[in-house]
Amino acid sequence: MSRTFEELVAEAASVSVDGWDFSWLEGRATEQRPSWGYARAMGERMGRASAALDIQTGGGEVLAGVEKLPPVAVATEAWPPNVARATALLHPLGAVVVADAEEPPLPFADGAFDLVVSRHPVKAYWTEIARVLAPGGTYFSQEVGPASVFELVEYFLGPQPEARKGRDPQQARAEAEAAGLDVVDLRLESLRTEFFDIGAVVYFLRKVIWMVPGFTVEAYLPQLRALHERIEADGPFVAHTTRFLIEARQPVR
């Protein structure tokens, strides 16, 4: 027997959304993964580094999965619940977590790291990334690409033509090069994403708060109910996630 709209929404509205672990969505939503395997590739670079920084680590889950951390491993995070979660997860592994605002400056000396990484940063501040990279150092990041999951965003907010222009990988290349870095890899992929029930939609929008700013169940109840009925009648709601991989190096001058 299928669960009611009220049951699905109540469950998704009450579960914790701390950290950056999406395991609650198993069986309720799927997202195709990028072909490059960010966590594995980042881990390989960590194994060769001597001092590394993970910017906007979230709950520290990705960094905690690295097989071998460098002798100096530091992570930054701004959101207090995630700072606590990342500290509990990463300190036993030998990584230091620094509570820091998402905006510049980074609280580190010039040339402090030979590797800087970031998975899904809110914004990459390229001049700061370049400043803390040592000569020959590498920045390696997977970012949210343009118009990611916009089928869902525009279902709730209507057409967003200006927002669709944001997060352009070519703009990231231009900003990295303007900061003095050499971009050595840049790839973009569009990935199929499916939501199998309305609870998955509610959980996703509560967790990824910038998708529909100010989202609450109460504010969007009519749209949620209509989407529930659509999923029940037609099957999963399909959207497309975009991701880009960028790798840039600090030249040895």
Q: Which residues of the chain have a pLDDT value below 70? A: 1
Which residue blocks in the chain are alpha helix, DSSP H?
5-14, 38-48, 61-64, 80-90, 126-132, 150-157, 169-178, 198-207, 221-234
Q: Looking at the DSSP assignment, which residues form a beta bridge with residue 238?
A: 194
Question: What is the model's pLDDT at position 99?
Answer: 98
Domain residue ranges of the chain, discontinuous segments joined by +: 5-249
Which residues lie below 8 Å from residue 22, measured CB to CB, with a gap of 6+? 207
CATH, range 5-249: 3.40.50.150
- Distance (Å) of CA 63 to CA 4, 70, 237: 38, 11, 31
Question: What is the model's pLDDT at position 21?
Answer: 80
Question: Quick one: how far is CA 150 from the chain centroid?
Answer: 16
Question: What is the model's pLDDT at position 1?
Answer: 60
